[in-house]
């Protein structure tokens, strides 16, 4: 083991892991995968900025912080149901507080036909075999330290399945709540979502906090969309101001499957989201729309990687970043068109606004093209608000700050225009405006 890996962060988790009693213990393949991933994590520790995937996100400060594993009192942490409500949206919900499933807050009764929604801990106690492919995975790359950690220590999460042909009308909500505890703790959530052939689902994933804390949360989600399935995924991230949140969402789209992601990243101190989509079947289509708004001393890093592997696949990504105060926004949008993926159509746009002299934006749109019958384009900009537009608004009597807020909101809002759910769109709007300097 390298000396560099022996940090307070790694050591605290080494001790915690040794004492942990995770759900699913005794399942041979799961124990083996947890053990191997843990060993890999302990040996390599956290990546440094020489690792290309972490070039703009330094983990030095995190490496010096010890964490307790999980929250023994998670079941009794007070959470107001009202805080979890989303106006105009009603339906099945799965709630996790500090990484642990909360039956009292979740809504799992009257699930529509074709939908199965269970916490991972229950599935592991019942029939874990179907999850073997997802959970037995080994993360071999040094940049995947958090995925290793998650695979080694995750005890709960959502297991969501939609039967072939089932079209779920009501959106399903997944709520990840951080609650203050006695110390700083690390929780790990593992979600598995599978949509059968021709199935349809809208999933709203929310990250919330009931109070100030500096927990570390890791989350790994796998989405598998069988032939012709359609997923609408909405992600609202409002973690606690001191929280560290590292997520990885993998999407696999089979023939003619379609996934759309709308993401709004507002909270957290150190936030990272790795999004990896594999367009594995002919005619698959992946659309992402996102806004990240680091302010204060926030660091928000989004890493989007889309791989076109089949004929006639399409991807379209539009992301906006707004960095204020000492905030730092990092974006990477990588598109790979594999050999033979003819007819691929890929486009990516990332526009950013810098609102302060201390803010920073680092963006890296990438194209890797190995087929010639393709259309691929990307664009990225970093700039500021249009002086003429500002002047126009001010000449009509709007104060400077209000004019700026209005233009900034408009800059971001364009991204969510195509969200079909009006109530949700309005909610995103309110959150967005709330984040702007008033």
Partner 1 sequence: MSSERSDVSATLRDNAEVAEALGRRYEAGFVTDIETTSLPPGLSEDIIRQLSAIKQEPEWMTAWRLAAYRHWLTMPQPDWAKLRLSPIDYQAISYYAAPKAGPKSLDEVDPKLLETYDKLGVPLHERAKLAGVAVDAVFDSVSVGTTFRKELAEAGVIFCSMSEAIREHGELVQKYLGSVVPAGDNFFAALNSAVFSDGSFVFVPKGVRCPMELSTYFRINAMNTGQFERTLIVCEDDAYVSYLEGCTAPMRDENQLHAAVVELVCLERAQIKYSTVQNWYPGDENGVGGIYNFVTKRGDCRGADSKISWTQVETGSAITWKYPSCVLRGDRSVGEFYSVALTHHRQQADTGTKMIHIGRDTRSKIVSKGISAGRGQNSYRGLVKVEKGADNARNYTQCDSLLIGKQCGAHTFPYMEVKNPGAIVEHEATTSKISDDQLFYCRARGIGEEDAVSMIVDGFCKQVFKELPMEFAVEAKKLLEVSLEGAVG
CB nearer partner 1, residue 51 or residue 121: 51
- CB 215 → partner 1: shortest distance, Å? 30
Q: In whole angstroms, how far apart are CA 191 and each of 2, 96, 120, 158?
A: 32, 11, 8, 5
- Tell me the closest approach of the beta carbon of residue 379 to partner 1, in angstroms: 5
Taking CB under 8 A as the binding criterion, the range among 73-81, 103-111, 249-257, 372-380 that sits at the site for partner 1 is 372-380
Q: Which span (156-164, 168-176, 187-195, 348-356) binds partner 1, by CB under 8 A?
A: 348-356
DSSP E strands, 10-110: 68-69, 93-97, 100-101
CB nearer to partner 1: give 356 or 400.
Answer: 356
CB 356, CB 323: distance < 8 Å: yes
Question: Is residue 355 part of the contact set for partner 1 (CB under 8 A)?
Answer: yes
Contact 241, 212 (CB under 8 A): yes
3-class secondary structure, 143: helix
At residue 417, the 3 state secondary structure works out as coil
> Quick one: which of 379, 399, 434, 437 contacts partner 1 (CB under 8 A)?
379
Is 49 a binding residue for partner 1 by CB under 8 A? The answer is no
Q: What angle do CA 381, 385, 390 make, to 5 degrees?
A: 160
Query: Which residue in 204, 246, 361, 419 binds partner 1 (CB under 8 A)?
Result: 361
CB nearer partner 1, residue 89 or residue 367: 367
Task: Provide the Cα torsion 411, 412, 418, 424; round to 10°.
Answer: -140
Minimum CB distance to partner 1 smaller for 118 or for 360: 360
Answer for which of 11, 36, 184, 360 binds partner 1 (CB under 8 A) is 360
CB of 96 to partner 1, least distance (A): 36
Under the binding rule (CB under 8 A), the answer on residue 305 touching partner 1 is no
What whole-number distance in Å separates Cα of residue 359 and Cα of residue 378?
24
CB atoms within 10 A of CB 226: 20
Instruction: List the one residue from 179, 374, 428, 436 that touches partner 1 (CB under 8 A).
Output: 374
**Euclidean distance between CA atoms 23 and 99, whole angstroms:** 13
Nearer to partner 1, 90 or 373 (CB): 373
The radius of gyration of the chain from alpha carbons, rounded to an integer in Å, stands at 21
Of 214, 150, 210, nearest to 183 by C-alpha is 214
Cβ closer to partner 1: 98 or 344? 344
Across the chain, which distance is largest between two alpha carbons, in Å?
70
| In the complex, minimum distance from the CB of residue 373 to partner 1, in angstroms, rounded to a whole number | 7
DSSP labels for 75-90?
A: GG----HHHH-BTTB-
Under the criterion CB under 8 A, does residue 78 sit at the interface with partner 1?
no
Count CB neighbours of 393 within 10 A: 18
Are 18 and 42 in contact by the 8 Å Cβ rule? The answer is no
364 makes contact with partner 1 (CB under 8 A)? yes
Q: Does 383 bind partner 1 (CB under 8 A)?
A: yes
User: What is the bridge-based pairing of β-strands 100-101 and 93-97?
Assistant: antiparallel
DSSP β-ladder status, 314-323 and 285-292: parallel
**Integer Cα distance of 101 and 183 in angstroms:** 20
Q: Can you tell me the distance from the alpha carbon of 187 to that of 176, in angstroms, rounded to the nearest whole number?
A: 11
Interface stretch with partner 1, choices 78-86, 273-281, 291-299, 374-382 (CB under 8 A): 374-382
- Among positions 399-418, residues that touch partner 1 (CB under 8 A) are none
Closer to partner 1 by Cβ: residue 206 or 303: 303
Nearer to partner 1, 39 or 366 (CB): 366
Binding residue (CB under 8 A) for partner 1 from 49, 76, 116, 356? 356
Which of 12-20, 183-191, 276-284, 350-358 is the region at the interface with partner 1 (rule: CB under 8 A)? Answer: 350-358
Query: What's the min distance (Å) between Cβ of 91 and partner 1?
Result: 41
User: Counting contacts by CB under 8 A, is residue 322 touching partner 1?
Assistant: no
Using CB under 8 A as the criterion, what x/- string covers residues 143-182 for binding partner 1? ----------------------------------------
CB 33 within 8 A of CB 138: yes
Instruction: Kindly list the residues in this chain that would bind partner 1 in the complex (CB under 8 A).
Output: 52, 56, 339, 352, 354-357, 359-384
């Amino acid at each position: 083991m390298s000396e560099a890996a022996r940090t307070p962060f790694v050591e605290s988790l080494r001790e915690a892991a040794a004492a942990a009693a995770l759900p699913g213990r005794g399942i041979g393949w799961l124990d083996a995968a947890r053990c191997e991933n843990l060993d890999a994590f302990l040996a390599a520790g956290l990546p440094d900025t020489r690792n290309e995937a972490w070039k703009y996100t330094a983990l030095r400060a995190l490496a010096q912080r010890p964490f307790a594993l999980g929250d023994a009192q998670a079941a009794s942490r007070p959470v107001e149901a009202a805080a979890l409500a989303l106006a105009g949206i009603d339906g099945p919900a799965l709630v996790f507080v500090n990484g642990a499933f909360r039956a009292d807050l979740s809504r799992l009764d009257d699930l529509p036909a074709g939908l199965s929604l269970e916490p991972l801990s229950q599935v592991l106690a019942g029939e874990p075999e179907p999850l073997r492919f997802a959970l037995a995975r080994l993360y071999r790359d040094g940049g995947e330290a958090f995925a290793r950690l998650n695979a080694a220590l995750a005890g709960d999460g959502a297991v969501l399945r939609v039967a072939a042909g089932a079209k779920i009308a009501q959106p399903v909500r997944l709520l990840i709540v951080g609650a203050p505890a006695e110390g700083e703790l690390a929780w790990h959530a593992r979600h598995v979502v599978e949509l059968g052939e021709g199935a349809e689902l809208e999933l709203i994933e929310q990250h919330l906090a009931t109070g100030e804390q500096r927990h570390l949360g890791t989350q790994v989600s796998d989405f598998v969309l069988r032939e012709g399935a359609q997923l609408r995924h909405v992600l609202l991230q409002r973690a606690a101001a001191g929280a560290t949140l590292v997520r990885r969402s993998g999407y696999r789209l089979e023939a003619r499957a379609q996934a759309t992601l709308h993401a709004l990243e507002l909270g957290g101190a150190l936030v990272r989201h790795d999004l990896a989509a594999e367009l594995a079947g002919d005619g698959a289509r992946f659309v992402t729309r996102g806004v990240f708004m680091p302010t204060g001393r926030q660091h928000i890093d989004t890493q989007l990687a889309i791989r076109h592997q089949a004929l006639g696949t399409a991807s379209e990504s539009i992301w906006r970043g707004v960095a204020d105060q000492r905030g730092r926004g990092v974006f990477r949008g990588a598109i790979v068109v594999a050999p033979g993926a003819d007819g691929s159509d890929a486009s990516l746009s990332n526009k950013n606004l810098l609102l302060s002299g201390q803010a920073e934006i680092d963006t890296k749109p990438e194209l890797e093209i190995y087929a010639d019958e393709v259309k691929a384009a990307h664009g990225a900009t970093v700039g500021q608000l249009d002086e003429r537009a500002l002047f126009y608004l001010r000449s009509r009597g709007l104060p400077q700050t209000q004019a700026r807020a209005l233009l900034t909101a408009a800059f971001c809002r364009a991204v969510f225009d195509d969200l079909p759910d009006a109530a949700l769109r309005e909610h995103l709007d309110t959150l967005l405006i709330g984040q702007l300097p008033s």
